[in-house]
Amino acid sequence: METVLKIQGVSKNFNDFDTVLHEINLSFFAQTFNVILGQSGCGKSTLINIMSGLMKPTRGNVYYKDLDISHAEQKEIIELRRYKFSNIFQDYLLLSELTVRENIELGKTGRAHDLEYSELTERLGIETLAERFPNELSGGQQQRVSIARAMIKNPEILFCDEATGALDETNSKLVVDYLKELNKTYGTIIIFSTHNLKISTVADRIITMKDGLIEDDYQNPFPQPTFRNDIRRFP
């Protein structure tokens, strides 16, 4: 399989005494659904931010194909994040002065492979919210709007940081099943960090983290076609 994203010897310190990541080595392959699984505080979010070009590592390198993201110029990072990468964050980061439609369409690139607004919002159950503003939405609705904004550009890699954390079981299933469909239909690489074991049932690959280290990394022998509800979370 083609290696699209490669992490070599990545460590991250926020000060001399606070090492969040320790010598991480990972490769991510085309058309795969990957889950990074671990308890809160294990370094998942920091790793996602470094891989997606939002944060520099203290040591090590991150490669998107032949581009060393960790040492690239800012304009190269902006271009990469505009057309190839998308992030779904734990926080919604919606612009309060824009409607739902306007917030979502901020993510569009204007290229032919952008997803259709109407199909995307219908699949996420927010098709009736187009003219509402963020302060008129519930937390779960705001989260689904932020997910739609990240998805609409149909990115090559979609980084999801606890993307279903604000959603109930029904809407979590809706979102995860749609991510699975994007992965299968368009070959979107999904990198999904979570403490929720249920998400891992649909993944091709499961990476577990603990205390800033990769604890395990294995292929899921029986990835499920849809989100399952019968597995517990980490405590």
CATH number at residue 83: 3.40.50.300
Using a pLDDT cut of 90, give the percent of the chain over it. 73
Mean pLDDT, range 117-127, rounded to an integer? 93
Q: At what angle do helices 139-151 and 169-186 cross, to 10 degrees?
A: 0
Say if residue 235's pLDDT is above 90: no
Q: What is the pLDDT of residue 110?
A: 87
| Per-residue confidence band for 140, with pLDDT thresholds at 50, 70 and 90 | confident
Residue 226 lies in a domain: no
List pLDDT tens digits, range 32-53.
Answer: 999 999 998 999 999 999 999 9
What tokens were used for 128? 């009736």
Average pLDDT (136-148) is 92
Is 36 among the domain residues?
A: yes
What's the whole-model pTM score?
0.91
Question: What local confidence, expressed as pLDDT, does residue 228 receive?
Answer: 62
Q: What is the mean pLDDT of the chain?
A: 91
Residue 62 lies in a domain: yes
Indicate whether 115 belongs to any domain.
yes
* pLDDT value of residue 222: 84
Classify strands 157-161 and 189-194 as parallel, antiparallel or unpaired: parallel
Q: What is the DSSP letter of 53?
A: T
> How many domains does the structure of the chain reveal?
1
Local confidence band at 233 (pLDDT 50, 70, 90 cut-offs): very low
- Residues 107-111 have a mean pLDDT of 90
Sequence-distant (≥ 6) Cβ neighbours of residue 142 within 8 angstroms: 92, 94, 134, 166
d(CA 211, CA 168) in angstroms, rounded, equals: 28
d(CA 173, CA 203): 14
Residue 183 included in any domain: yes
What is the reported pLDDT for 134?
Answer: 96
**pLDDT band with cut points at 50, 70 and 90 for residue 29:** very high
Q: Which of 8, 29, 47 is nearest to 189 (CA)?
A: 29
Q: Is 66 exposed, middle or buried (0-12, 13-18, 19+ CB in 10 A)?
A: exposed
User: pLDDT by residue (tens digit) across 178-187?
Assistant: 899 889 999 9
Give me the pLDDT at residue 229, please: 57
Pairing between strand 59-64 and 18-29? unpaired
In the predicted structure, residue 127 carries a pLDDT above the cut 60: yes
Residue 175: domain span:
3-219
Task: Give tens-digit pLDDT for 148-177.
Answer: 999 999 999 999 999 888 788 888 888 899
Residue 230 lies in a domain: no
Please give the pLDDT value at position 1. Answer: 79
